[in-house]
Amino acid sequence: PNIVIDAKIGCLWYVALRLEPLLAHFDDKRQLVDFLLQRSNSKDVLLGVCCRLLEKDSQLPLDQIADVFDKLAAKEGCVDPSDMYAHVFSKFADECEDRFHFVVSTLVEYIRSLVQHQLPVPYCHNELLINVLVHNRRFHQLHQFLQYHVLTDSKPLACLLLSLHAVYPPATQLALDMLKRLGTANEEIVEVLLSQKRVLSAIRFVQNLGTSDSISARKFLEAARTSEDPAIFYAVFKFFEHRNEALRGVPEFAKGEHCEQYVKHFETLYGGV
């Protein structure tokens, strides 16, 4: 109870604890976190404590930090992941060059704690971990985290992986694998394959989906033409001719498909349809 009543003099007082002066009286920081979690309006103080627990001069052992993360996750609604990202991890990750292993281990422990307590892992935490790994060129470790699903599959995360193609080309295939696992990103997969001039792979993908009868011939023919590989253009053009014949009984493209320029390009390459 935080109310004191003196009936004789007719007074009532509300008692409010000033939390900051109490911090120095706890040697065991895990007990301090337990104490703060029982107090109302303690979020800002808890975030400050978490920052200090990760500071280079006063960091706790990793197992104790993991214990703190579990306490925070178990008390859902007190300190949410967005608070931890904005006030703790985004600042903490700036030290990744000096304490790379500790920074990565701490971020992974926090993600582990959220998953263990069946809480969603926000994209920003996965993004931060990937950026730390890429900044330190730990691509093998990144590959392992993705392979063993330490990082939660999502379209934004797949897009981030695609953006890493210039520095780590295998990231593109990792992104495609992630999009396939999601099962709701078939259009994105096709666009990625076409952007990489893997037109035949894109056609095989839509054939496996059973949607090749409804795809835009123009989009695929344009990608084949920009690949500047006559063999690819030939294969794609003939694929759509066969599709036209199967659907309408004739190999020619319908006027509504607007493929006249690709017919002319084929004639230029091979002398006729």
Is residue 248, in this structure, part of any structural domain at all?
no
Q: How many domains does the chain have?
A: 1
Tell me whether residue 74 is in a domain.
Answer: yes
**Residue 134 placed within a domain:** yes
The pLDDT score that the predictor gives to residue 74 is 93
Q: Look at residue 38 in the predicted model and tell me its pLDDT.
A: 87
pLDDT at 27: 81
Is residue 262 one of the residues assigned to a domain? no
pLDDT at 1: 66
| Domain assignment present for 62 | yes
- pTM attached to this predicted model: 0.79
How much is the pLDDT for 28? 87
Q: Is residue 238 part of a domain?
A: no
Pick out the chain residues at pLDDT < 70. 1, 95-97, 272-273
**71 located within any domain:** yes
Whole-number pLDDT of residue 272: 62
pLDDT tens-digit map of 110-124: 999 999 999 999 999
pLDDT score of 96: 64
Output the 3-class SS for the chain: CCEEEECCCCEEEECCCCCHHHHHHCCCHHHHHHHHHCCCCCHHHHHHHHHHHHCCCCCCCHHHHHHHHHHHHHCCCCCCHHHHHHHHHHHHHHHCCCCHHHHHHHHHHHHHHHHHCCCCCCHHHHHHHHHHHHHCCCHHHHHHHHHCCCCCCCHHHHHHHHCCCCCCCHHHHHHHHHHHHHCCCHHHHHHHHHHCCCHHHHHHHHHHHCCCCCCCHHHHHHHHHHCCCHHHHHHHHHHHHHHHHHHHCCCCCCHHHCCHHHHHHHHHHHCCC
Domain of residue 108, residue span = 18-145
Asked whether residue 259 is assigned to any structural domain, the reply reads no
**pLDDT for position 59:** 77
